[in-house]
A and B are shown apart, each in its own frame.
Chain A
Amino acid sequence: MKFWQNLPFLLIWTPMLLSGVTAALKPRWALRMALFVPLAGTLGSAALLLECLRAGGSFLYPLGEFGAPMGNELRAGPAEALLALTFCAILFLSVLGGYQRIVAQIEERRRGLYCVMVLLLQAGLMAQVFTNDVFTAYVFIEIMTIAAGALVLARNRGRALFGATRYMIMNLLGSGLFLLGIAVLYCLTGELLMEDIHDKLVSLRTAGSYARPITLSVALVTVGLAVKSALYPFHTWLPDAYASATPSSSAMLSSLVSKAYIFLYIKFVLRVWGLGLFRETHMQAVLLVFSFLGILLGSIDAVLEKRLRRMIAYSSVAQIGYIYLGVALGTRVGVAAALFHTIAHALAKALLFISGDRLIGASDGESGFHELRGAGYRAPLSGAAFTVGACSIVGIPLLGGFASKLYLTRACLAMSAANAAVAVIVLAVSTALNATYFLTTVITIYQKPEREYGARLSHPPLSTAALAAFALLILALGVIARPAMDVIARGVDLLI
């Protein structure tokens, strides 16, 4: 085994090891740790991506000398490495971009623990990306759920506490359903590794036995992960949690936590059940309907919303609908488009939350739209960054969001004519709605202000550079969309 093949394990293990150390540090040093470790993760996963592309395949990493199936196992390939790179980079840039807010909004005695949560969240994200074992996935789901809840309630104020409570209730329900689902799978197959479960499921299906428990387990895992990633009918916990937390936390929750669950779901679809079983149990059709509903109703909710951060939060509901639409197509192209959209949306949403909060900060902390007039002049860089993020989500060419919508639409066209027509109409209507709420916001922030505003918070220059880095990454993703899509498509082929 070559040295670089240890990287997936190191990416999970280092933040776990350092989280215990961080708990004993002073807040100032803990914050540096929360910046340094995600940065190291970014470099490590970039190296892993390069090596994976050079080696041109995926590999398994046994944990312990006995290896799988006696012990646990990790798996890494181009798709996993690319996702790990995105997650670590966004985590780093979110902490950096919201640095000033973390210091201002979180009391000093909580700040050290906040950093511990960031590190544990990173470990959880990396574990979801690399694990090849369904029970390990569950263990790290627990870590991620609690850590993300703590990230919300770190800002110990009325609305945030309420949001965190709702978040915990709904997410624990989701974890429970997921656990039931994998318990049924384990009962039927006696295996925990993804390929092994898949092999046994195939033989059970050809024998035609236990059809009902298999369907139920597919449904339980689907609903569990859908609740946790806020697919439309289960999204009610989302707006309060996202809108009331400190902006770094909102960025992490919306662009990382829910995306990690979606990637886990994609691994279930491709590696545990296989696309055949996914279609046979009609879970694909169910997801298709819910993703359509999510795309439309999430956008309508966002249009109706009168406050900036809640609007951005509702827009997440619609975007998660897009990603599930790609998965629900049940084809390789669809899954690849879903992964591309995951990356494009994660970058744009983190940028929107952080720059949107700065615009609010420049308007005396008022988040209503009439108060935001002229915020783009009071905070020029944040205004520009917000514009880039909003344009990416609407799907303006040259930006990441355009390419992802294009790939998604192309993947939809492969369905039967009637379904494809519905999908394209839904996508078109939703794009119009996206433009309605995001472009009006952009216009609003560049309108003439109604009144004078007080002094605004000053942000450290490095922290402002994080916004520029986000905007550049979105632009880069739009420009090199073809090579990025090639990497993802190869990764998806290797996942099956």
Chain B
Amino acid sequence: MARIDWRRWIEEGGDALDRDMRTFQAITEAPEERDPFELPHPRERLTYARFHRWSHSKGERILKVIYFSLSVLICLGLSALLISTALDLPQFGADAELIDNDISTFYVEEGLRHTGAMNIITGIILDFRGFDTLGESHVLFVAACTVLMLLRLPGGDDPESQLARRRAEAFDRHFEPRGDVILANCVRVLAPLLIVFGAYILLNGHLSPGGGFSGGTVLGAGLILYLCAFGFARTGRFFNFKVFRAVTSGALAFYALSKGYVFITGANGIENGLGPGVYGRILSGGLLMPLSVAVGLVVGCTMYALYALFRKGDL
């Protein structure tokens, strides 16, 4: 087995990042190699050396000052421009001629009748502008996939992957100490509450303030808290990579399929059989409730996955 490097700094203590920085500096700030262009005449060499030294010491400093002051000036100028333009914009709700459009009136007056959502925000984001939200949930998906691609450690049995995993484990132990009794006891009370509350927000998204994104965030927060208190081994019993993949793929596929059904039937003038139902019931508003749940699951899983991947490189 390969020599285990992490053991040293655990025993020595100290910050792993600091030591890595020292190695990094030793590599990057190594003395430069000699210039390949050998100048034949000593006077030429002297002149070259003078300019070379100038560009490396004084010249670099002058350039840095110029860049720094330019960037500050550009930032200030842009901010001033944006702020002054923002002052030129119409006051919120002031210019009646501008906001004279029937869209917002339609949403407020007719939204409930068309979508069956008591919470019209959910009606707008999941029904009227459902296509944008379909895109937004794929933004979360693509972000999670990218982080997965970048940070997930190899799962193989070869010594290198094993070492990488051990190192990540050691990092995790170093920065996130385990067995904190206060945290564990608080989370025993809080985590179930958070998860139930998240589920409530998801299921009631079309009736009360909330919906997919907010409910999913609460769910994800509950999972993250649980992970903080009890560690990867215990969380992995019910939420591991396979569960993550199945839930995210399933929820997205359900979302895309149901929106595809609604859009195609809507555009072709076919009755889709999803009436608004009885206002205020939990099973009303057509597909709004299942869609909220699907969005919430994607959001919650993404939040948890981002946290876990940044912390240890695995779920």
Q: Which chain A residues lie closer than 8 Å to B134 at the CB level?
A: 16
**Distance (whole angstroms) from the CB of B75 to the closest CB of chain A:** 12
B115-136 vs A, CB cutoff 8 Å, 1 = contact: the mask equals 0000000000001111110111
B137-152 vs A, CB cutoff 8 Å, 1 = contact: the mask equals 0110111011011101
Q: Are B89 and A146 in contact (CB under 8 A)?
A: no
Q: Are A63 and B266 in contact (CB under 8 A)?
A: yes
**Distance (whole angstroms) from the CB of B73 to the closest CB of chain A:** 17
Partner of B98, one of A113, A135, A143, A188: A188
Q: Is there a chain B Cβ closer than 8 Å to A389's Cβ?
A: no
A52-91 vs B, CB cutoff 8 Å, 1 = contact: the mask equals 0000000001111111011110000000000000000000
A1-22 vs B, CB cutoff 8 Å, 1 = contact: the mask equals 1000110010001001101110
Q: Which chain B residues lie closer than 8 Å to A62 at the CB level?
A: 266-267
Q: Are A1 and B269 in contact (CB under 8 A)?
A: yes
- Total interface residues on B, using CB and 8 Å? 55
- A13 vs B269: C-alpha distance when bound (angstroms): 19
Q: Is there a chain A Cβ closer than 8 Å to B52's Cβ?
A: no
- A140 vs B134: C-alpha distance when bound (angstroms): 10
Q: From known contacts A64-B262, A120-B142, A143-B142, infer whether A109 and B135 are also in contact, taking CB-CB under 8 Å.
A: no
Q: Is there a chain A Cβ closer than 8 Å to B81's Cβ?
A: yes
Q: Which chain B residues lie closer than 8 Å to A147 at the CB level?
A: 142, 146
- A261 vs B308: C-alpha distance when bound (angstroms): 34
B86-97 vs A, CB cutoff 8 Å, 1 = contact: the mask equals 001110000000
Partner of B143, one of A21, A69, A146, A200: A146
Interface secondary structure of A, over-half rule: helix
- A113 vs B143: C-alpha distance when bound (angstroms): 11
- A149 vs B147: C-alpha distance when bound (angstroms): 11
Q: Which chain A residues lie closer than 8 Å to B267 at the CB level?
A: 1, 5-6, 9, 61-64
Of A210-218, A312-320, A433-441, the stretch lying at the interface with chain B is: A210-218
Instruction: Give residues of chain A (186-226) contacting chain B, Cβ–Cβ below 8 Å.
Output: 187-191, 200, 210, 212-213, 216
Q: Is there a chain B Cβ closer than 8 Å to A142's Cβ?
A: yes
**Distance (whole angstroms) from the CB of B212 to the closest CB of chain A:** 15
**Distance (whole angstroms) from the CB of B154 to the closest CB of chain A:** 6
Q: Are A71 and B142 in contact (CB under 8 A)?
A: no
Q: Which chain B residues lie closer than 8 Å to A167 at the CB level?
A: none
- A331 vs B279: C-alpha distance when bound (angstroms): 53
Q: Are B150 and A64 in contact (CB under 8 A)?
A: no
Q: Are A64 and B128 in contact (CB under 8 A)?
A: yes
Identify the closest chain B residue to A25 (Cβ): B249
Q: Which chain B residues lie closer than 8 Å to A140 at the CB level?
A: 135
Q: From known contacts A61-B267, A66-B114, infer whether A72 and B142 are also in contact, taking CB-CB under 8 Å.
A: no
- A182 vs B176: C-alpha distance when bound (angstroms): 43
Q: Are B132 and A21 in contact (CB under 8 A)?
A: no
- A183 vs B98: C-alpha distance when bound (angstroms): 15
- Total interface residues on A, using CB and 8 Å? 58
Q: Are A9 and B103 in contact (CB under 8 A)?
A: no
Q: Which chain B residues lie closer than 8 Å to A212 at the CB level?
A: 85, 88
Q: Are A70 and B103 in contact (CB under 8 A)?
A: yes
Q: Are B132 and A136 in contact (CB under 8 A)?
A: yes
- A136 vs B138: C-alpha distance when bound (angstroms): 13
- A142 vs B146: C-alpha distance when bound (angstroms): 13
Identify the closest chain A residue to B266 (Cβ): A65
Q: Which chain B residues lie closer than 8 Å to A153 at the CB level?
A: 146, 149-150
Q: Are A188 and B90 in contact (CB under 8 A)?
A: yes
Q: Are B142 and A146 in contact (CB under 8 A)?
A: yes
Partner of A72, one of B88, B131, B136, B269: B131
Q: Are B139 and A146 in contact (CB under 8 A)?
A: yes
**Distance (whole angstroms) from the CB of B286 to the closest CB of chain A:** 11
Q: Is there a chain A Cβ closer than 8 Å to B264's Cβ?
A: yes
Instruction: Give residues of chain B (251-276) contacting chain A, Cβ–Cβ below 8 Å.
Output: 252-253, 256-257, 259-260, 262-269, 272
Q: Are B89 and A188 in contact (CB under 8 A)?
A: yes
- A19 vs B256: C-alpha distance when bound (angstroms): 10
Q: Is there a chain B Cβ closer than 8 Å to A123's Cβ?
A: yes
Q: Is there a chain B Cβ closer than 8 Å to A444's Cβ?
A: no
Q: Is there a chain A Cβ closer than 8 Å to B232's Cβ?
A: no
Which of A20, A127, A142, A200 has most B Cβ within 10 Å?
A: A20
Q: Are A63 and B248 in contact (CB under 8 A)?
A: no
Q: Is there a chain A Cβ closer than 8 Å to B106's Cβ?
A: yes
Q: Are B272 and A65 in contact (CB under 8 A)?
A: yes
- A180 vs B127: C-alpha distance when bound (angstroms): 25
Partner of B245, one of A16, A23, A190: A23
Q: From known contacts A212-B85, A213-B88, infer whether A189 and B98 are also in contact, taking CB-CB under 8 Å.
A: yes
Q: Which chain A residues lie closer than 8 Å to B28 at the CB level?
A: none
Q: Are B256 and A139 in contact (CB under 8 A)?
A: no
20 more CB-based (< 8 A) A-B contacts, given A1-B269, A9-B264, A64-B266:
A9-B260, A17-B253, A17-B257, A17-B260, A23-B248, A61-B267, A63-B263, A64-B127, A70-B106, A71-B129, A107-B154, A117-B145, A120-B138, A135-B132, A146-B143, A154-B149, A184-B89, A190-B99, A210-B89, A212-B88
4 closest A-B pairs by beta carbon, nearest first, are: A65-B266, A139-B135, A20-B252, A17-B256
Residues of A within 8 A of B (CB): 1, 5-6, 9, 13, 16-17, 19-21, 23-24, 61-67, 69-72, 107, 109-110, 113-114, 116-117, 120, 123, 127, 135-136, 139-140, 142-143, 146-147, 149-150, 153-154, 156, 180, 184, 187-191, 200, 210, 212-213, 216
